[in-house]
Structure 1
Amino acid sequence: MVWVRYPYVFKRIFTILAFLAPAVGTAWAQYDVAFSHYWAMEPSFNPAAVGKGNKLNVTGAYALSFAGYENNPNSFYVGGDMPLYFMKQYHGVGASMLNDKIGFFTHQRISAQYAYRRALFGGMVSAGVQLGLIMETYDGSKADLEQADPAFPQSQLSGNSLDMGFGLYYTRKNWYVGASVQHLNAPLVEMGEVKDFQIDRTYYLTGGYNIRLRNPFLSIPASVLARYDGNAYRADVTARLVYSHEKKVLYAGVGYSPTNSVTAFVGGSFHGINVGYSYEMYTGTADPGNGSHELIVSYSTDINLQKKGRNKHKSVRFL
């Protein structure tokens, strides 16, 4: 017997809407985490983005949502990717780990990614695949129910399932576009003898353009990400003003998600490490101080793929 649709009843509705119903909106009905710094962690939703730009990248992000509320969501992501060049062809490989905890639920995913990259029309096109394992845990022992309810077990349940993804990505000069699908196999996770749930496929479309200004030290990277899982959607539009001179990089920006939130960004490069912070304020009835805090730390280094022993390593900004 199918328990209930986990993304819509248990994880997002029971553990969040029960406390925050007026403020949530459609975005929280989706299974995947909506990181504000999506533009700096594209491999988290599109495997075709691994190895782009001939850089070795390592990224970590932590998000604390609905600050001040009990049982509020907190999510941690870490991933790394790098380009490869063998058999006279470009490739990309990557790996990532996600831990998403909301109330009594813990969602974990570990993934490996591969992308085939090829020069096309003055740019680079890539097709990527992702293979991973989803692990779900429900700790009902923490539930404080006045009366026993079979719909909310008071024991610990866990299960796992194979998870797959696919993506396409094209970048040329100052712009890029990508499309991908997560949970391609619509994995069914069994938790206990009679309780299980199915995860819906989630479709992503992203794009961006780096606007050059007359001042050679300033630029405005603008990006958009839209996602849809067949039931709910979310779109994010982001723009940042970036100052870059020699080894100094600073930026500030804003993001907007229609019917969901407004986000402010600030960050830069410090001693070779890229650090960014964002605060997402929900546009519903939630108090402005009960938004989402997000911190991202990344490091990138250039790799010269075709000249062995002559790779140049230096930190670069994330755009």
Structure 2
Amino acid sequence: MKKILKVLIFLLAPSNIFGQLTPMTNQYVLNPIIINPSCAGARGTLNMATFYRNQWVGIDGSPKTMTLAVDAPLLNKKIGLGLIIVNDKIGVKKDNQFILNYAFNINLGESFLSMGLGAGITMTNVSWSDLVVLDPGDELYLVDSRVFIIPDFSFGLYYTNKNYFAGFSMPQFLTARFNSDKNGYTLANDPKQYNYLFNTGIELEFATNFKFFPSALFIYTPGEKLQYDINAHFGFRDLIRIGGSYRNNRSIAAMLQVQLNNQLRIACSYDFDVGKLRRYSAGSYEIMVRYLFSYKVDAINPVNF
């Protein structure tokens, strides 16, 4: 019983503080717009990707996230626009997030520098009626919370050339704390709650038709331990990629990507927990489908392909 209570407390603890970080995905290397608004339109064509992530399989009420990301270049690729829609559920808490991203691209000759801004809202509520309680007639759990609308903003920079990329972003500036006296969220711009993200990667060709793609993501929050995600993928003829990642003291992931044709790519991953949750969870899995609306892609950012 104590173990179950610990897991429940772990799942529900963040529910009174909102705005820490957009739900993470293993596929951010393929779709960096999820963590950096300046990547909108970076592929040089209309791009659409959808994800499904089931985290901590085997734990009742564990996070389940569905994401749709669409972006495209405009004005001869000088700017990019993007839309991200996220449906995230943890226990009885549900969030629906809508984000618009804008990116401005500067041509540096052999490379590009992009600057981006993001703005959006999150609609969040708690379905108390979904809880299994000892007293089904308890009025406290018969009525769901009202839907709260929380605004947010993000900022990003992105540099790329033929074989290398580096990005810096600050997603979700605003922090929202639940105020029980007002039965609502109070917004705050607290630098101590900012998340600073830096990611980088390179493409290396070590044999004919074979490529190696190492990359890394670092997340820093003041007062917290540095988080990092180290990735490595091997590719064959741009048709298939096999690789993995290590997230510090949390999980090891196996990943597979398959390019079905010039436009359609699918990817999947499975996380093996190596932290304290490994005793309760059977891991996490994720599926992604990406479609490019063009056969010939003049991409600003080929590294993330």
- CA 313–236 in structure 1, closer or farther in 2 if over 3 Å, else same: closer
More moved, 30-39 vs 257-266: 30-39
The CA deviation at 1:318 is 5.5
- Where do 5+ consecutive residues of structure 1 fail to align? 1-13, 22-28, 304-311
- CA 162–16 in structure 1, closer or farther in 2 if over 3 Å, else same: farther
Secondary structure in 2 aligned to 1:141?
helix
* 2:143 is aligned with 1:155: yes
- CA 30–257 in structure 1, closer or farther in 2 if over 3 Å, else same: farther
Question: Which residue of structure 2 aligns with residue 299 of structure 1?
Answer: 291
Contact 2:163-2:303 at 8 Å conserved across structures: no
Question: Which residue of structure 2 aligns with residue 10 of structure 1?
Answer: none
Question: Which residue of structure 1 aligns with residue 211 of structure 2?
Answer: 219
- Give 1:299's aligned amino acid: Y
The CA deviation at 1:140 is 1.3
* 2:37 is aligned with 1:44: no
Cα deviation, 1:244-294, whole Å, max 9, x if unaligned, reads 16xxx0111010011111000012111441001100011024149710000
* Identity rate, percent: 21
Question: Which residue of structure 2 aligns with residue 186 of structure 1?
Answer: 175
- Give 1:238's aligned amino acid: N
More moved, 66-75 vs 224-233: 224-233
- Give 1:237's aligned amino acid: I
Contact 2:53-2:286 at 8 Å conserved across structures: yes
Question: Which residue of structure 1 aligns with residue 199 of structure 2?
Answer: 206
Size of the alignment, in residue pairs? 283
* 2:92 is aligned with 1:100: no
Cα deviation, 1:110-145, whole Å, max 9, x if unaligned, reads 011111101126210010011111111111122234
TM-score (norm 2): 0.82
* 2:159 is aligned with 1:166: no
The CA deviation at 1:15 is 9.8
Taking the aligned partners of 1:97 and 1:118, their CA distance within structure 2 comes to 27
Taking the aligned partners of 1:191 and 1:138, their CA distance within structure 2 comes to 14
The CA deviation at 1:177 is 0.5
* 2:287 is aligned with 1:269: no
Taking the aligned partners of 2:80 and 2:61, their CA distance within structure 1 comes to 38
Taking the aligned partners of 1:31 and 1:129, their CA distance within structure 2 comes to 16
Taking the aligned partners of 2:197 and 2:27, their CA distance within structure 1 comes to 15
More moved, 288-297 vs 55-64: 288-297
Secondary structure in 1 aligned to 2:123?
strand
- CA 216–281 in structure 1, closer or farther in 2 if over 3 Å, else same: same
Taking the aligned partners of 1:103 and 1:77, their CA distance within structure 2 comes to 18
Cα deviation, 1:71-123, whole Å, max 9, x if unaligned, reads 1110011111111125xx71111111011101010112101111110112621
Aligned counterparts, 1:225-236, within 5 A: 225-232=217-224, 233-236=226-229
* 2:149 is aligned with 1:175: no
1:125 aligned to 105, 113, 120, which one?
Answer: 113
- CA 198–222 in structure 1, closer or farther in 2 if over 3 Å, else same: farther
- Give 2:108's aligned amino acid: L
Cα deviation, 1:5-30, whole Å, max 9, x if unaligned, reads xxxxxxxxx99832778xxxxxxx95
- Give 1:284's aligned amino acid: G
The CA deviation at 1:227 is 1.9
The CA deviation at 1:179 is 0.5
The CA deviation at 1:171 is 0.3
The CA deviation at 1:37 is 1.3
Taking the aligned partners of 2:124 and 2:203, their CA distance within structure 1 comes to 39
- CA 318–208 in structure 1, closer or farther in 2 if over 3 Å, else same: closer
- Where do 5+ consecutive residues of structure 2 fail to align? 12-18
Taking the aligned partners of 1:15 and 1:156, their CA distance within structure 2 comes to 23
* 2:230 is aligned with 1:237: yes
- Give 1:295's aligned amino acid: I
Contact 1:72-1:103 at 8 Å conserved across structures: yes
Secondary structure in 1 aligned to 2:200?
strand
TM-score (norm 1): 0.78
- Give 2:202's aligned amino acid: Y
Question: Which residue of structure 2 aligns with residue 142 of structure 1?
Answer: 130
Question: Which residue of structure 2 aligns with residue 67 of structure 1?
Answer: 57
Question: Which residue of structure 2 aligns with residue 18 of structure 1?
Answer: 8
- CA 118–289 in structure 1, closer or farther in 2 if over 3 Å, else same: same
Secondary structure in 2 aligned to 1:279?
strand
